[in-house]
Structure 1
Amino acid sequence: MTATSNPGKAGRKNPYVGPRAFRSGEDLPARDFEIRELTDLLIAERIALLHSPSGAGKTSLIQAGVVPRLERGHPSWGEVPFLASRPLRVKTPARTGLAVRNRYIHSVALDLLPLRDEAEVAEMRFPEIIAAAMPDFEKYTPVLIFDQFEEILFLDPTDWDSQGVFFAELGEALQDNDIWVLFAMREDYMGGLDRYLHHIPGYLHATFRLDFLDTAAAKKAIIEPADKMGVKVTEEAADELVQRLRTIRVQSPANGVDLVKGPYVQPFQLQVVCRHLWRTLDKEKQGRFSTIDLDRVRRHADIAASLRRYYRDTVTEVAAVTGADELTMRDWFESNLVTAQGFRTQTLTGPASTDAGAGAVLSALQDAYLLRSDTRSGSVWYELAHDQLITPVLEDNRNWRESRLESWQKRARDWRTTRHRELLLAGDELRQVQRHASVRELTPDEQQFLRESIVAERDRSVIARARSAVSRLTGLVALLTLTIVILAILLMLD
């Protein structure tokens, strides 16, 4: 692996994409076999299903691998070239106030017919939508790409009727043998398709499983992108990174927590860590480095620090996009997704917010691979995407609170856990926080803390007034007693 460009050139592009998916035109490392096999399967079968565990890189495989290979063509595929649609999603809602015949079909119509008026396509059937989109595929064989197709099953797990209409009309449209289709979905939702497969030609018998990266592929995904930028990652450095990335925490009934080496590396974690490592070296060396060796990996490839940065950036971005309160979101991660013992747990509910629906927040967090979901008995459960995120979440939350929260907000958090009355606000501090609360939104816990503080302050005021009255009454009684004694003495002297 020799340098292929000027290693002293500052400002080189970071060759690792981080948590986002690879895009068309970008080189997807270590997936050549999967790209070739899936493309050939789709060409041969016409309708295929790509499935994988969450975070394995389905979208990257499609966008940076399968679609470019399809559109490059091959002599054995015939003279008519393929043209892939944009990724089709079933989750896009109709605009407010617009009645649509089928929410899932309408969402696909918005992707296939982006220039049409939304009201115009609201009542269109699937075959009509496909027919209307065909002129855009003139002189090409169309390939429809349904990405994150599990959404049709978990957006509303009870909506079997509308889901059935979607599959029936999609199957009707696919009777046209001039249309190729690739579905991509998380494999843990595949069972939910069973009741609809009879609508699809071929019953989706052609499937391809994308797994995580094994150790050899992970090394390749570390070494090759840097090599193309003129930077050599040594074998020892790559091995060390792989070993760190495949380390997982396993709960043992006898020994508590064990750190074990898993058989694979999650692509998104590899990209997050390598991007952070490159950024750190680029800043430290001002772009002038030609080698990433074992020493640099040991000093700078901090898995936890990289994941903390990823968690922090994701939560901040989701809060900005959805309008959710960042503190509420962070508290939800800590209290709903991590146990008191420091293990992953699952929850049915999303973070509460007055400005954003929990569904929008949960969807955005899943799109960023920070969360994953699991459907059981018609209920959707959410958990952290990986147990390596637990420590980064807890540490970044602690750092964020220390730097952002006022002292009374920290006391509110402690009070929520302990309910100790001595933590409640009083006097001038309480009045200052009340003025502060009138100009900003408080979290539900802060609101309750403030209410309890006000009640406690009123109780103290009542008690203080009562004590004052008792004190004055006691004084009067004492004075009266003294007066009586003096009068008695005077009478005795007389």
Structure 2
Amino acid sequence: MRPSRRPPIFIQLSLLIIAVLLEITANFFANDESAPLTAGIRGAAGPVLIILLVVLIVGNGLVLWWEAPRSPRPAWRADRSPYPGLSAFTEQDASVFFGREEQVTELVRRLHELGVEGADRFVCVTGASGSGKSSLVHAGVVPRLRGGRWQVLPAVTPAGEPLGGLADLAVTLGAADRASALREVRTRPDGLARQVAAWRARTGHRRGRVLLTLDQLEELVTLSSAAEQAAFLGQVAALLEADRRVWVVATIRVEFLADMLAGSHPELFANPVALGTMRPADLVAVVEQPAQLAGMRFEDGLVDQIVADTATPDALPLLAYLLQELYLAAGPGRVATRQAYQALGGVAGALGRQADVVLAEVRRDSSTDDVLATLLRLVAMDGVEPTRRRVPLRELSAEQRRVIDVFTDARLLTTDVLDSEPRVQVAHEALFRRWAPLRQQVQARAEQLRRRTELERWAADWVHAGRSGDYLLTGDRLALASQWLEAMEPAGQDSPTARALVDASRSRDTAFLHRVSETIGRFALGNVDRFPELAVLLTSAALRECPPTPVARRALMAALAFSHTEAVLTGHTDAVRGVAWSPDGAHVATGSRDGTARIWHADTGTVVRVLRGHSGMVEAVDWSPDARRLATASRDGTVRVWDAATGATIAVLPCGEVTRGGRMVTGRLAPGRVEPGPDGAGVGHHDLAAHCPSGWPRG
């Protein structure tokens, strides 16, 4: 990708070239004093060069002002806390946002570069969870740009419906209604670009710079399908290509950046801005500067201890929560003491201590398991790391709502409105990463949370497709989804959308099987006189595998009336490969893929003997002429000779050719010998006298 070019550079170079040409011209005419023009040029060269030098200096100042315009820091409102706690800093918190001045300046500089390609005007801010990506953009960058010549559009968060977020933005820009806006971004690749162009025409901002913020893009990976992700990024890319006065700033957790680089628009994420840990001096500013605005001060040495305790990369949200609690405990104009700091549990323990206090309060009316199960509903799992999950309040029971309300009052959860529906989420992912009871539950139920995330992704695809039958589950996916949902229900982790998807899929599957059963029943009724046994088999299978239907029952009754079947022999656990009647007609022998042979009483259909010993499937069986011996051939490469009366093994004959080519053995047992079958693929010639002294009893 080529580096971006800044518009004022052209002006600088032009002025420099003009100055050089003027100097060359002046030197040329200085050597020719005869022409009247020479004196005039020689006299004007000096003042002109001075004027050009002044223009260059002023132009350089304009360049710096253009690249990084300075706007005064907003005044702090005394009715707001100087520390927002676990919530991300918003634009209203810009007055108390400290410690990231260098990163803000760098981002503002990049946003003032002229990007020829659309990807040049897409700035991705990435970092670990809790590094302050959203705060940097909303409280640092946006106020600086809004104070200049920029039009800042409302931020878009993908959540569970990324195209719905773009539709909401379109409504804010003046679209007629959300439904039509959503239809446009779903059906037209340039739907968002058209909405922005229409907004420019209505408001008169035809040439002004516009900033669009995309927050928490990791939700494109954790809560959306690949198709939704591609459609969302496609709309953004089309907007950047269509309007060269639009810039986009996006935030994404660093572990999901690889997913974006492997996705449909990797060019957008090729040059991210990495947000690392804060330096000690920056942390001091984070602690002290907001307190000074609020008139609060810290006991001597306390700030140094707080900064020292904020040593781990993921401690920034814990620090934010601690500072909020210290401020609420001390109040404006007071002193934050070391005693209060230790009572809160320090940086590492403040959040956990508060959560423990809330859990103890809620436990008066609810069990710990019920409380943690409710909080688990706010956790999604895609891959290894857990992420936050927005849950509509209507999906929660009255008991769960009570738990949510208590944790929300303690500033550990937050509520907002998305798509005109109230939703709840954790204030920060640190709650289920650092609070031991919830962290342990997440680890113990990680696989179940992954399954729920996947199932909800399927359900979201179905809902976004207008509940189309093409998106319903069938076969193995339906069976898998049913198993997952049944496992989630006892733990209270199922969701209405997932339940609706599975129920709709089951209904369609049941309707299909109902039609299959009726079709089989009608076929059997029409052919029962010609194929009674086939009709029995088909209708039996239909009644066993499909919902029972009257026509299938009638067909079975008719087939049984026409059938010549006298008995059904059941007992094998796999397909039967060979059947043989005993010469005296008293018994039937069967061999099966389950590795056993069975001897049945021909009159009663009961099992007389179960012959076990083969290690492979039994391919064929045959009787001796006097019905006292039975031979079985197996794919384990042996033929076994059995005593039909006792079931004892008389001989085991190694015959490796039995499994050659997978052919079934069809040999006959002659007195004293095992001979090959008609196709020559028997088991070889064996003299049974070598295995049993009496040989075959001669009839």
Question: TM-score interval w.r.t. the shorter chain?
Answer: 0.5 to 0.7
Tell me which residue corresponds to 1:19.
Answer: 86
Alpha-carbon separation, structure 1, partners of 2:356 and 2:350: 10
What is the CA-CA distance between 1:152 and the residue it aligns to?
A: 1.5
Deviations 1:137-186 (A, max 9, x none): 45631111111112122213xx3233323333332221131211111111
Contact 1:41-1:206 within 8 A present in 2 as well? no
**Helix, strand or coil at the partner of 1:174:** helix
Contact 1:109-1:129 within 8 A present in 2 as well? no
Contact 1:308-1:392 within 8 A present in 2 as well? no
Contact 1:234-1:292 within 8 A present in 2 as well? yes
Which of 154, 174, 179 is 2:240 aligned to?
174
Contact 1:90-1:151 within 8 A present in 2 as well? yes
Which of 64, 71, 74 is 2:139 aligned to?
64
Tell me which residue corresponds to 2:330.
Answer: 281
Tell me which residue corresponds to 1:272.
Answer: 321
Alpha-carbon separation, structure 1, partners of 2:234 and 2:262: 11
What is the CA-CA distance between 1:30 and the residue it aligns to?
A: 0.9
Does 112-121 or 140-149 show the bigger shift? 112-121
What is the one-letter code of the residue matched to 1:271? A
- Spell out the pairing of 1:1-12 with structure 2 (5 A cutoff): none
- Spell out the pairing of 1:308-327 with structure 2 (5 A cutoff): 308-309=353-354
Contact 1:227-1:233 within 8 A present in 2 as well? no
Deviations 1:260-317 (A, max 9, x none): xx3x4633211111111122223xxxx552x334455345564534444367779999
- Spell out the pairing of 1:443-462 with structure 2 (5 A cutoff): 444=490
Alpha-carbon separation, structure 2, partners of 1:150 and 1:189: 6
For the aligned residues, what is the CA RMSD?
Answer: 4.4
- Spell out the pairing of 1:416-431 with structure 2 (5 A cutoff): none
In the superposition, relative to structure 1, how do residues 193 and 226 fare at CA in structure 2: closer, same or farther (>3 Å)?
same
Which of 229, 251, 257 is 2:294 aligned to?
229
What is the one-letter code of the residue matched to 1:309? Q
In the superposition, relative to structure 1, how do residues 335 and 234 fare at CA in structure 2: closer, same or farther (>3 Å)?
same
Which of 386, 389, 392 is 2:433 aligned to?
386
Contact 1:53-1:187 within 8 A present in 2 as well? yes
**Helix, strand or coil at the partner of 1:386:** helix
Which of 210, 213, 236 is 2:278 aligned to?
213
Which of 91, 103, 107 is 1:34 aligned to?
103
**Helix, strand or coil at the partner of 2:91:** coil
* 2:355 is aligned with 1:297: no
**Helix, strand or coil at the partner of 2:213:** strand
Alpha-carbon separation, structure 2, partners of 1:347 and 1:60: 21
In the superposition, relative to structure 1, how do residues 354 and 277 fare at CA in structure 2: closer, same or farther (>3 Å)?
closer
Does 112-121 or 308-317 show the bigger shift? 308-317
Tell me which residue corresponds to 1:356.
Answer: 395
- Spell out the pairing of 1:40-55 with structure 2 (5 A cutoff): 40-44=109-113, 45-55=120-130
Deviations 1:103-142 (A, max 9, x none): x333212123235312221221233233233345456311
Alpha-carbon separation, structure 1, partners of 2:195 and 2:143: 25
Which of 120, 124, 127 is 2:193 aligned to?
127
Which of 138, 153, 158 is 1:90 aligned to?
158
In the superposition, relative to structure 1, how do residues 391 and 169 fare at CA in structure 2: closer, same or farther (>3 Å)?
closer
Alpha-carbon separation, structure 2, partners of 1:37 and 1:272: 27
* 2:178 is aligned with 1:118: yes
**Helix, strand or coil at the partner of 2:301:** helix
What is the CA-CA distance between 1:35 and the residue it aligns to?
A: 1.0
What is the CA-CA distance between 1:368 and the residue it aligns to?
A: 3.2
Alpha-carbon separation, structure 2, partners of 1:42 and 1:315: 49
**Helix, strand or coil at the partner of 1:113:** helix
Tell me which residue corresponds to 2:595.
Answer: none
What is the CA-CA distance between 1:238 and the residue it aligns to?
A: 0.8
Alpha-carbon separation, structure 1, partners of 2:353 and 2:134: 24
Contact 2:310-2:316 within 8 A present in 1 as well? no
What is the one-letter code of the residue matched to 1:386? R
Deviations 1:340-367 (A, max 9, x none): xxxxx97799999996279x99997995
Alpha-carbon separation, structure 2, partners of 1:161 and 1:108: 15
What is the CA-CA distance between 1:57 and the residue it aligns to?
A: 1.4
In the superposition, relative to structure 1, how do residues 218 and 307 fare at CA in structure 2: closer, same or farther (>3 Å)?
farther
What is the CA-CA distance between 1:65 and the residue it aligns to?
A: 0.7
In the superposition, relative to structure 1, how do residues 302 and 48 fare at CA in structure 2: closer, same or farther (>3 Å)?
closer
In the superposition, relative to structure 1, how do residues 367 and 217 fare at CA in structure 2: closer, same or farther (>3 Å)?
farther
Contact 2:154-2:213 within 8 A present in 1 as well? yes
Alpha-carbon separation, structure 2, partners of 1:352 and 1:203: 30
What is the one-letter code of the residue matched to 2:436? I
Alpha-carbon separation, structure 1, partners of 2:152 and 2:86: 24
Alpha-carbon separation, structure 2, partners of 1:232 and 1:15: 12
TM-score if structure 1 supplies the norm length? 0.54
Contact 2:388-2:426 within 8 A present in 1 as well? no
Alpha-carbon separation, structure 1, partners of 2:326 and 2:289: 15
In the superposition, relative to structure 1, how do residues 275 and 167 fare at CA in structure 2: closer, same or farther (>3 Å)?
closer
What is the CA-CA distance between 1:393 and the residue it aligns to?
A: 8.0
**Helix, strand or coil at the partner of 2:81:** coil
What is the CA-CA distance between 1:54 and the residue it aligns to?
A: 1.0
**Helix, strand or coil at the partner of 1:212:** coil
- Spell out the pairing of 1:368-383 with structure 2 (5 A cutoff): 368-371=426-429
Which of 109, 128, 131 is 2:167 aligned to?
109
Alpha-carbon separation, structure 2, partners of 1:90 and 1:214: 32
**Helix, strand or coil at the partner of 1:171:** helix
In the superposition, relative to structure 1, how do residues 134 and 218 fare at CA in structure 2: closer, same or farther (>3 Å)?
same
Alpha-carbon separation, structure 1, partners of 2:387 and 2:345: 35
Contact 1:333-1:393 within 8 A present in 2 as well? no
Tell me which residue corresponds to 1:147.
Answer: 215
Tell me which residue corresponds to 1:421.
Answer: none
Tell me which residue corresponds to 2:252.
Answer: 185
Tell me which residue corresponds to 1:161.
Answer: 227
What is the one-letter code of the residue matched to 2:124? L
Tell me which residue corresponds to 2:261.
Answer: 194
Alpha-carbon separation, structure 2, partners of 1:293 and 1:312: 21
Contact 2:193-2:238 within 8 A present in 1 as well? yes
What is the CA-CA distance between 1:371 and the residue it aligns to?
A: 3.1
Tell me which residue corresponds to 2:607.
Answer: none
In the superposition, relative to structure 1, how do residues 363 and 293 fare at CA in structure 2: closer, same or farther (>3 Å)?
closer
In the superposition, relative to structure 1, how do residues 307 and 216 fare at CA in structure 2: closer, same or farther (>3 Å)?
farther
Query: Any gaps of 5 or more consecutive residues in structure 1?
Result: 1-10, 74-80, 94-103, 247-261, 318-323, 338-344, 373-383, 395-442, 447-494
Alpha-carbon separation, structure 1, partners of 2:254 and 2:387: 20
Higher relative contact order (CA 8 A, sep 6+): 1
Contact 1:276-1:306 within 8 A present in 2 as well? no
Alpha-carbon separation, structure 2, partners of 1:239 and 1:347: 32
What is the one-letter code of the residue matched to 1:328? D
Alpha-carbon separation, structure 2, partners of 1:223 and 1:348: 31
Alpha-carbon separation, structure 2, partners of 1:174 and 1:316: 51
**Helix, strand or coil at the partner of 2:165:** helix
